[in-house]
Amino acid sequence: MTGEPYRSYGYLTPGVDLPVFELAPEFDRVPPYADGLGAEDRSRAERLLRDNIVVSLHDHPVRFPDDMRQTPEYNRTGRQHTAFAGLAASGMTVVFDNMMDGTACVTGNAPWRWLDIITDLGMRQADIAHQSDVVVIRTLADIHDAHRAGKVGLLFGLEAATPIENEIDRLDVLYGLGLRQIGIAYSDANALGSGLNETVDGGLTDFGRRAVARMNQLGLAVDISHSSDRTGIDTCSVSERPVFMTHAGARAVWDTPRMKSDDVLRAVAETGGVIGMSAAPHTTLSHAHPRHTILSVMDHFRYCLDLVGIEHVAFGPDTLYGDHVGLHTVFGHLLKVGAAAPGGPSFDKVEYVDGLENPTENFANICGWLVREGFSDSEIAAVLGGNILRALEQIWA
Average pLDDT taken over every residue of the chain = 95
Assign 104 a pLDDT band (cuts: 50, 70, 90): confident
Q: Would 29 be classed as within a structural domain?
A: no
Predicted confidence at residue 341, as pLDDT, reads 47
pLDDT in tens, 211-221: 999 999 999 99
Reported as a single tens digit per residue, the pLDDT across 105-159 is 898 888 899 999 999 999 999 999 999 999 999 999 999 999 999 999 999 999 9
Report the C-alpha gap between 255 and 259 in whole angstroms. Answer: 7
Query: Angle at CA 313, nearest 5°, toward 262 and 369?
Result: 115
For residue 178, being part of any structural domain is answered with yes
Residue 158 near residue 182, CB atoms below 8 Å = yes
User: Domain containing 94 — which CATH number?
Assistant: 3.20.20.140
At 9-37, the pLDDT tens digits run 999 999 999 999 999 999 999 999 999 99
pLDDT tens digits, one per residue of 344-391: 688 889 999 999 999 999 999 999 999 999 999 999 999 999 999 999
32 within domain boundaries: no
Question: Could you tell me if residue 45 is inside a domain?
Answer: no
- 291 in any annotated domain: yes
250-262 burial, b for 16+ CB within 10 Å, e for fewer?
Answer: bbebbebbbbbee
* DSSP single-letter state for residue 220: P
In Å, what is the CA distance from 24 to each residue of 42, 80, 81, 294? 28, 12, 10, 22
Number of compact structural domains in the chain: 1
Q: Tell me the DSSP string of 299-329.
A: HHHHHHHHHH-GGGEEE-----BS-HHHHHH
In sequence order, which residues have a C-beta less than 8 Å from that of residue 319 and are 6 or more positions away?
59, 60, 279, 280, 353, 356, 357, 358, 359, 362
pLDDT given at position 340: 42
Is 138 domain-assigned?
yes
CA 354, 80, 112: angle at the middle one, nearest 5? 95
* CB-CB contact of 301 with 313 (8 Å): yes
Higher pLDDT, residue 332 or 149: 149
All residues at 6 or more sequence positions from 206 whose CB lies less than 8 Å from its CB, including other chains: none
Predicted pLDDT of residue 345 = 84
pLDDT tens digits, 86-101: 999 999 999 999 999 8
**Do 143 and 396 touch, CB atoms closer than 8 A?**
no
Mind listing the pLDDT tens digit for each residue in 165-203? 999 999 999 999 999 999 999 989 999 999 998 999 999
Structural domain containing residue 91: 55-335+346-396
Q: In this model, does residue 3 exceed pLDDT 70?
A: no
> Do the Cβ atoms of 242 and 387 come closer than 8 Å?
no
Q: What percentage of the chain exceeds 70 in pLDDT?
A: 96
What's the CA gap between 198 and 186, in Å, rounded?
Answer: 10
Residue 18 lies in a domain: no
Whole-angstrom distance, CA of residue 166 vs CA of residue 192: 8
Question: Would 20 be classed as within a structural domain?
Answer: no
| CB of 326 closer than 8 Å to CB of 335 | no
